[in-house]
Amino acid sequence: MRPRPAAARYHSAPARTRASRIGPTRTTQPCTRPAVDRYVPAVPNRQAAVVLVHGGAHAKWSFEQYARVLSEEGYEVHALDWFNHGGSARLPEEQFLCRGIDDVAYEELRYLTERLGRPPVIIGHSMGAMAALVYAVSNPVERLVLLTPVVPSSVGADPIDLDVDLTKPFGPVPYDLARVLFYPTLDEDLARMYHQLLEPESPRAVWQATRWTIDVDLQAVTAPTLVFATELDVLTPPAAVADWPS
């Protein structure tokens, strides 16, 4: 049996710490860089590092189980928190309100990948998948895995009628709505536990994700790309992914 990998949290340099069952304990110390958990495999056997990019209102805790499985398979894994999420810095509200999904690609994701020294495999979920896609347009990536992604405007998907007030942070949404949007297959206790971890989201990012306003030059993405959709996902219906340009 392989030893279970431990997660190490770092901002500018690694500082080993143990991850909790749900996710790493959130720091209350001010920081100016995105928080990242690094999972070092006991027996490294893969060349490319894996970067995990969470979706809107979530944080890197949502990828903890994936990170441990990948690390046990020999991958070095890095799971990041966007600004205003998890252990990362809290921006002034006026700045947070204007942040888009593309900002995650240009700031948090670029900050992390520049420190890896080699093109990563990037696995992104929902808004995080769109951030990964935007990043891959102009940066080398080994592979892309997009889990129920926010899709580019060129797909022509129908808008999602979600009320978004651009003058204030969005959510977290009430439990009953979160159950439909995020946790339709989880048992009640687990769904409520994860709902308590949700955080407010930038209204601009929510608008981009529900009106499909981000234009991406898909021809510029040269990395092998795997895109997933699921039957019960109301935010990224399978039809939207089926219409993805090849």
Kindly indicate the confidence band of residue 246, based on its pLDDT and cuts at 50, 70 and 90: low
Has residue 49 got a pLDDT over 70? yes
Q: Give the pLDDT of residue 27.
A: 30
Has residue 143 got a pLDDT over 90? yes
Angle at 105 between CA 66 and CA 83, to 5 degrees: 75
Please, are residues 22 and 61 in contact by the beta-carbon 8 Å criterion? yes
Hey, what domains does the chain have and what are their CATH numbers?
Answer: 7-16+28-235 (3.40.50.1820)
What is the spatial distance between Cα 245 and Cα 202, in angstroms, rounded to a whole number? 28
Nearest to residue 171, comparing CAs of 147, 141, 197, 150? 197
What is the spatial distance between Cα 179 and Cα 185, in angstroms, rounded to a whole number? 9
pTM of the model as a whole = 0.86
Kindly indicate the confidence band of residue 44, based on its pLDDT and cuts at 50, 70 and 90: confident
Better-scored residue on pLDDT, 19 or 44: 44
Q: Give the pLDDT of residue 121.
A: 98
What is the spatial distance between Cα 66 and Cα 68, in angstroms, rounded to a whole number? 6
What is the spatial distance between Cα 70 and Cα 90, in angstroms, rounded to a whole number? 29
Please, are residues 46 and 116 in contact by the beta-carbon 8 Å criterion? no
User: What tokens does 166 get?
Assistant: 């651009």
> How large is the average pLDDT for residues 119-125?
97
CA distances 209 to 8, 84, 157, 173, Å, are 31, 18, 11, 15
Q: Give the pLDDT of residue 230.
A: 87
**Percent helix, percent strand, percent coil in the chain, to nearest 5:** 30, 15, 55
Q: 3-state DSSP call for residue 80? A: strand
Which helix (H) or strand (E) segment holds residue 50: the answer is strand 50-53
Mean pLDDT score across all residues of the chain: 86
What does the pLDDT look like over 183-196, one tens digit per residue? 999 999 999 999 99
